[in-house]
Amino acid sequence: MRMLVMVLAAVLAVLPLHCFAQASPNATFSEQWDACTPSPDVKAALDALPEQTRAQTEWDVLQKQLAAIEQLRRQFPGNVFVERRYMFIMLGKTEREKIIEESEAKFKANPHSPLLA
């Protein structure tokens, strides 16, 4: 019985990967979606975020980055890559408690989401 459970668990673990790989058999490799990289439009938007220049103070560039990333969060709601950059910007600055509270609230609202785990 234990062996049957282990085999079933292995099949269930591999099945989604197999289905994902078979979802678009006619597409070339370059056309297939890669879940580990942002889509081209998200990548372009993230690459366009303001960076600090010599003429700007850290506070000035932070304010510009926060405004830009908030716009991206509205434009791409729930996007993992946008949220990750948002957290990166916020955690390194004075907004650490705010980001923790936001994350906890999202998780409480949807505790079974793998994106919020």
Query: Tokens at residue 80, please?
Result: 């993992």
What's the rounded Cα separation, in Å, for the pair 83 and 89?
Answer: 10
Query: Tokens at residue 82, please?
Result: 């946008």
**Looking at the domain assignment, is residue 45 inside a domain?**
yes
The parent domain of residue 49 ranges over 36-109
28 confidence band (pLDDT: 50, 70, 90): low
**Looking at the domain assignment, is residue 91 inside a domain?**
yes
pLDDT value of position 102: 83
pTM of the model: 0.61
**Looking at the domain assignment, is residue 56 inside a domain?**
yes
DSSP 27: S
For the chain, what is the mean pLDDT? 74
Query: Tokens at residue 56, please?
Result: 């700007």
Q: In this predicted model, what pLDDT tens digit does every residue of 59-111 receive, in sequence order?
A: 888 889 889 999 999 999 989 899 889 888 887 666 778 878 888 888 888 88
Domain count, the chain: 1
In total, the chain counts a number of residues equal to 117
Better-predicted residue by pLDDT, 74 or 31: 74
**Looking at the domain assignment, is residue 11 inside a domain?**
no
DSSP 76: S
Contact in structure between 64 and 50 (CB atoms under 8 Å): yes
Has residue 47 got a pLDDT over 80?
Answer: yes
pLDDT value of position 94: 66
pLDDT value of position 76: 93
**Looking at the domain assignment, is residue 104 inside a domain?**
yes
